[in-house]
Amino acid sequence: MADAAENLVPIEQLFNPNSDEYMADPIPQCLALMQRGRLVWYEPWQAWIMTRMPDIMACWKEEPLSSDFYDWEFAPPRPPEDQWTNFERALIGHSLLADHDHHRLVRRVTAPAFSRNVVDSIQRKIEPDVKRLFDELGTPDSFDYIDKIAAHIPFISITRMVGIPEKYWPDIKQVIMTFTETWNPTISDERREKARQDSNRAIDILKLVIAERREAPVQDDFLSTLLRIERENPGFEEGDIITLILALIGAGADTTLVAQQWSVYCLLKHRDQVAKALASPEAFSNAFSEISRWGTASKMGFARYAPRDMEILGHQVRKGQMVLMMPHLKDHDPEYYDHPEVFDVEREFNPDVLFGYGPRFCIGAALAKRQLYLTISELFRRFPNLELAGEPERDGSDHNAVVFKRLMLNTNCQ
């Protein structure tokens, strides 16, 4: 293997998601990385990259690797329990990210909080907020979709979903949106530490909200549902509720913002498909998978950590090393998709793995698709003649995805 490796182009020349070339067109780099092998050592991140779908599916399903950030070789040392801050209590003690058995318990007992009925009722709560955003926008000749609409949606929908009262919004908004950065291995220690301190402050606020809700439960409210689940299920505790809320906010915020931008961009690039995409929530659900495939905005992937020295796909992986699963590498592979360059909102996805697979399948998938459908339908209803005001400039500074600096739209109202 060493001989073969010596003759290969250095990996960072082949694949660099922080490069201008990747930002302009990630497809050649994704395909080249996939060609390099099933498990590729990526020196700049000190991580293995798992490139092929059958391997990724097996890893998702069977979970041979750990999802616990503290199992990563470069994570800060796991602090002793008597020194845990709120953050460690949430992340280590009760985490969705940690121990597989506890994770399954949390997923099982909280499933009712993510049922179709709950998503319907959350949609009803979010709808007036979305309409208000558009009312405030009015009918300008042109506007930046990210600034005026998209940037507000993740926070609105998650706080509405959880039931965080509006009086807490200004305080919590400043500290909660960076939660996922606390375990992002590709950013600086300083940035991770700042995110961690913010999360501690956010948890203090959540504890206040929970204490209030214990005093005065509300019907048909996600937090009250979780408090009921806590009463009925030994082993599911307040720490789990806090972790879950943080995970929802963390996992739901960046992803939604990216999804909003790319949905509008892709549909405006293919105006002929807008009606088909927005024909129903189900049609949009499929269209969104195509938007995500065609756009290929991901820069990273899903991190796991080797729980011990082990052999994976013919390579010796050391305990603590990171393995990044990158399902998006396949998105423009002609062996995986017919005519991958064609954008077709009716393309069949079987299986559809946009939201993951197996025990850690995205909790928020239904909500994510519904809130997108709601917002984008409202956008095209208010502005039927909408068009891109030129090709938007891409922004490489996001830690996880290629996004746009601004997304200027012409409304053509007059």
Residues that bind ligand HEM (CB under 6 A): 60, 96, 107, 158, 247-248, 251-252, 255-256, 259, 302, 354-356, 360, 362-364, 367-368
How far CA 143 is from CA of 57, 365, 406, 408, in Å, comes to: 41, 29, 9, 5
Q: Judged by CB, which is closer to ligand HEM: 17, or 364? A: 364
Residue 154 beta carbon to ligand HEM: minimum distance, rounded to whole angstroms: 7
Ramachandran angles phi, psi of 280, nearest 5°: -165, 165
State in angstroms the smallest separation of the CB of 305 from ligand HEM: 12
Per-residue burial over 70-107, b = 16 or more CB atoms within 10 Å of its CB, e = otherwise:
bbbeebeeeeeeeeeebbbbbbbbbbbbbbeebbeebb
Closer by beta carbon to ligand HEM, 60 or else 404? 60
Minimum CB distance to ligand HEM, residue 297 (Å)? 10
> Toward ligand HEM, which CB reaches closer, 61 or 381?
61
> Closest approach of Cβ 177 to ligand HEM, in Å?
13
Instruction: Pick the closer one to ligand HEM by CB: 117 or 414.
Output: 117
Comparing CB distances to ligand HEM, the nearer of 122 and 411 is 122
Minimum CB distance to ligand HEM smaller for 41 or for 302: 302
- Residue 251 CB, shortest distance to ligand HEM, in Å, is 3
Taking the mean position of all CA atoms in its chain, how far away is CA 118? 20
Of the candidates 5, 60, 6, 19, the one whose C-alpha atom is nearest the C-alpha of residue 323 is: 60
Q: Shortest Cβ contact with ligand HEM: which residue?
A: 364
Nearest-approach distance from CB 263 to ligand HEM, in angstroms? 9
Min dist. Cβ of residue 158 to ligand HEM (A)? 6
Of 90 and 259, which CB lies nearer to ligand HEM in the complex structure?
259
Using the minimum distance from each CB to ligand HEM, give the nearer residue, 222 or 343.
222
Closer by beta carbon to ligand HEM, 227 or else 401: 401
